[in-house]
Chain A
Amino acid sequence: MSREFGFWAVVRREVLRMHSRPLYGLSIIFAPLFCFIFFTTLMGEGLPQSLPAGVVDEDNTTVSRSILRNLDSYQQTEIIKQYSNFSEAREALQRNEIYGFFYIPKGTQELASSQRQPTISIYTNATYLIPSSLLYRDMKTMAVMASAAVGREVLFAKGANLDQAMGFLQPIQMDMHALNNPWLNYNVYLSNTMLPAVLVLMVLMVTCFSIHTELKDGTARKWLSLANGNILKAVSAKLFPQTMMFSLMALIYLVLLYGVLEFPDHNGFWPMLVAAEMLILASQGFAVFIASAIPSLRWSLSLCTLWGVLSIPICGFSFPVMGMPEALQALSYLFPLRYYFLIYVDQALNGISLVYSAWFYVALMGFMILPLVDIALLRKAAKKYTYLP
């Protein structure tokens, strides 16, 4: 093979092209790296601590104060202010000073001691779903416990011991096991999918962009002839340096997640490394497929972008796929990230046998060979296209 033609000649040409435009550096290195650092540090706490909450204590008795004191001692709740009435607290909620508040109406203690069942209320601002749910959990536990405390005192007075009292107050209790993420760590839950999602988005866009700029700038013929007119060789050589760069980025996030932050990765490094590498190749394959099918830079790039952005909600890590309309459930099979997510759940999170994930790896392979379907169209376009100034 001569130096001027063939695979390595195209690779060398592509490296020079990438080097000459800062755009490639920004989108291959800066954008993913920024997101890696952003997401992992943003949720560094894992589970939000000391969420600001308020109280409206119209009762002002020993019972109400003990409830509030106990609530404040919860790790995730911090009572930042006491409001004198309900509307004040509601306004604070609307101003976003607090995510929720506890309302203890006047006469709570009096009613409780005279056995007339007072009601205490929990209000949370569900516009902010996560803090709202977390506050609710603490407040609900507190409310139930406050109630149980009163009941327990009565039982103790009747001569029951603690075991008997609890057996009476809560005959059936739930013991929840959050498998493999017992801390309910949001960083584990989100970053494991967010980081590859950003990478997929960039792979899809850069692949499509780099192929179509050849057509747009009128350099496609030269590119093709450099690869001895073999479109497969031309495309694979062109994408090779990008694959290398993206693989490096994938390696960085894998080391960051499973090495530095020590997120659960039960089957070791290799299954995830292979999955990430295959995810990149699958995304490149998908992008080449689109780039060949749609001969316009703008439209194919738009479609790739849409696919990349849609990957995030549709792969089902935040809102499960089973909760989506059926049409979208079917559509989710067309996104490489969906399979990566399923592999991650099996291999890293739950650490089950590779056999269970085999089909997901095969699906990713399917995306890799997808361009074979229509790459002839790209060859035609590359030969025919002449730049009109």
Chain B
Amino acid sequence: MWFKDMLDVSGKELRKTVSDIGVLVFFIVVPLLYPLLYAYLYGREVVREVPVVVVDDCRSTTSREFIRKSDATPDLKIISYCSDMEEARNLVHRHKAYGIIYVPAEFEKTLAEGRQATINLYCDMSGLLYYKALLSGCTMVSLDMNRDIQMERLSGLSDWEKDVMTMPIENEYVTMFNPANGFQAFLIPAVLILLLQQTLVLGVSMMAGTENERRRAGMVLGHEYDNPITVLGGKALAYLLVYGFTATYVLCLVPWFFHMPQLWQLPTLVAFIVPFLLASIFFSITISFFVRDRESCFLLFVFASVPLIFMSGISWPTSNMPAMWKVLAQIFPSTHAINGFARINTSGALLQDVRYECLMLWILTAVYFMLSLLIYERMYRSDKMPGAEFVIAMRTRMRKNLRVARRDIKTVSSRVEANLENATERIRSRRRK
């Protein structure tokens, strides 16, 4: 019985979703298009060819070699040679260049004397990626040239002596799980998860807002189901059904379209995403009670996306967050889901590696389920949203009224008919006279 009720509620909720274009936008259109936009935005992963200017006061073979080689790195592009720093600075100020490479006049001389020569780099700090490009580009060139210079100087020595002196211990660097060390593979998984949670929150609140508006206008009486659990379960089932598809698209297809790392294994992904969706659904239902009308969900919840993504620790490391925010972050499903999904998707973590996040998501599911149930119960008891008894009483009263009305109509019409007959009778009798 309760199961049938639940399916009933589910069906109604689905019909409501499909018929409400606003909700459909949140549940389908935004998840469909927004990730594509973001992936397009960060599609190039890293910044290449950052424009820089050169001030070469040395004008020697070595300095020119350095500049030529910097220009040849993928990171930098030399757009102009300036005669002095003033001119170079002017180009930076006009946003034509983001860095200055300055080679001092005594550069070559210092090198020739066997002392350490310095090249000065100046970087516009409006973006950290410019800094990264300038530093890594020039460092690469200098390491390369340093070796050449050393080899030259060691020409009198044997091979093994050269080796010891230039690089006794080699080192290598491996950026695990994000081969391009880029923006896309790092930010997109977080954006995708947050998108799922936020669209759920917005869509569910919009439905709740609509219902409230209708109730205020006297168009909705209340629920016809006795048990709030069936209502809650039915709704959750409907959303889970819709989001099963949405999540598959967002989490599996979008990264695949854009050739992002996808190291997940299906059982792990499913076992992790189901509690995430459940937690988000009950979270949405819980906070949707604070929404009075259809459109206020925009004003209330959209801005939260920005702090939420930072709370997850994907950008600023969790280990360095103030305790207050670390604690607050725990109550949002997105925090755990972003951390879990980023590792499942990008670093190939298994369920046991994300067991803390998974556990937290189940706990949040339970907590928000209880909370929403509590609110439902209270609403049922209040006259704001009367429960089944009220609805049934209302219906019988209306049926009775209808019956009375029908009877009245019958009596009235029969009376009218009788009068009509009387009248015709009278007219006829007059004519006869």
Contact = CB atoms under 8 A, between A and B. Distances in A.
Interface of A: 23, 26-27, 31, 34-35, 38-39, 41-45, 48-52, 90-91, 93-96, 99, 108, 112, 115, 117-133, 136, 140, 143-144, 146-147, 150-151, 154-155, 163-164, 166-181, 184, 186, 189, 194, 197-198, 201-202, 205-206, 209, 212-213, 297-298, 301-302, 305, 308-310, 312-314, 316-320, 322-325, 328, 341-342, 345-346, 349-350, 352, 356, 389
21 contacts: A43-B316, A48-B319, A48-B320, A99-B317, A122-B172, A128-B317, A129-B178, A132-B175, A133-B132, A147-B168, A150-B169, A151-B167, A172-B111, A174-B135, A201-B306, A302-B298, A319-B42, A320-B47, A320-B127, A325-B41, A325-B44
Given A154-B164, A172-B145, A298-B22, A42 B306 contact: no
B138 A174 contact: yes
B119 A94 contact: no
Contact of A147 (B145, B149, B169, B217): B169
A292 B181 CA distance: 44
B122 A27 contact: no
Given A115-B164, A323-B46, A356-B94, A173 B169 contact: no
A58 to B, nearest CB: 15
Interface size range of chain B in the complex = 35 or more
Residue of B38, B121, B142, B299 with most chain A CB atoms under a 10 A cut-off? B299
Interface of B: 22, 25, 37-38, 40-44, 46-48, 50-51, 66, 92-95, 111, 113-132, 134-135, 138-139, 142, 145-146, 149-150, 153, 160, 163-178, 181, 183, 185-187, 189, 217, 292, 294-296, 298-300, 302-303, 305-307, 310, 313-317, 319-322, 324-325, 339, 342-343, 346-350, 353-354
Contacts of B122: 177, 179
Given A171-B149, A325-B43, A144 B168 contact: no
B320 A167 contact: no
Given A130-B316, A316-B127, A308 B302 contact: yes
B244 to A, nearest CB: 25
Given A38-B307, A172-B146, A298-B295, 9 more contacts: A42-B325, A48-B319, A50-B320, A90-B176, A128-B317, A155-B165, A172-B142, A175-B120, A318-B127
Contact of A305 (B132, B176, B298): B298
A308 B304 CA distance: 13
Contacts of B350: 94
A23 B43 contact: no
Nearest to A109: B169
Given A42-B321, A312-B306, A126 B111 contact: no
A154 B37 CA distance: 56
Contacts of B175: 124, 126, 132, 136
The 8 closest A-B pairs by CB, nearest first: A126-B178, A143-B171, A150-B168, A126-B175, A181-B125, A323-B47, A129-B186, A27-B299
B401 to A, nearest CB: 23
A178 B25 CA distance: 45
Given A174-B135, A305-B302, A41 B295 contact: no
B47 A117 contact: no
Contacts of A198: 303, 306
A44 B171 CA distance: 34
Contacts of B185: 126-127
A349 B169 CA distance: 41
A119 B47 contact: no
Contacts of B164: 115, 150-151, 154
B306 A320 contact: no
Given A94-B347, A99-B317, A173-B116, A122 B174 contact: yes
B292 A120 contact: no
A23 B125 contact: no
Contacts of A108: 169
B357 to A, nearest CB: 9
B186 A126 contact: yes
A26 B324 CA distance: 21
Contacts of A350: 92-93, 124, 126
B186 A151 contact: no
B314 to A, nearest CB: 6
A173 B322 CA distance: 37
A121 B172 CA distance: 5
A118 B169 contact: yes
Contacts of B354: 95
Contacts of B42: 313, 319
Contact of A323 (B48, B121, B171, B313): B48
B123 A179 contact: yes
A43 B135 CA distance: 24
B41 A164 contact: no
Contacts of A150: 164, 168-169
A112 B164 CA distance: 8
Contacts of A48: 316-317, 319-320
Contact of A143 (B113, B126, B145, B169): B169
A253 B178 CA distance: 36
A177 B339 contact: no
Contact of A319 (B129, B149, B348): B129
A48 B25 CA distance: 39
A147 B176 contact: no
A167 B165 contact: no
Nearest to A147: B169
Contact of B317 (A131, A167, A308): A131
B163 A328 contact: no
Nearest to A123: B174
A173 B172 contact: no
A3 B315 CA distance: 54
B312 to A, nearest CB: 10
A195 B315 CA distance: 17
B41 A328 contact: yes
B330 to A, nearest CB: 15
A287 B164 CA distance: 67
A356 B93 contact: yes
A327 to B, nearest CB: 8
A151 B146 CA distance: 14
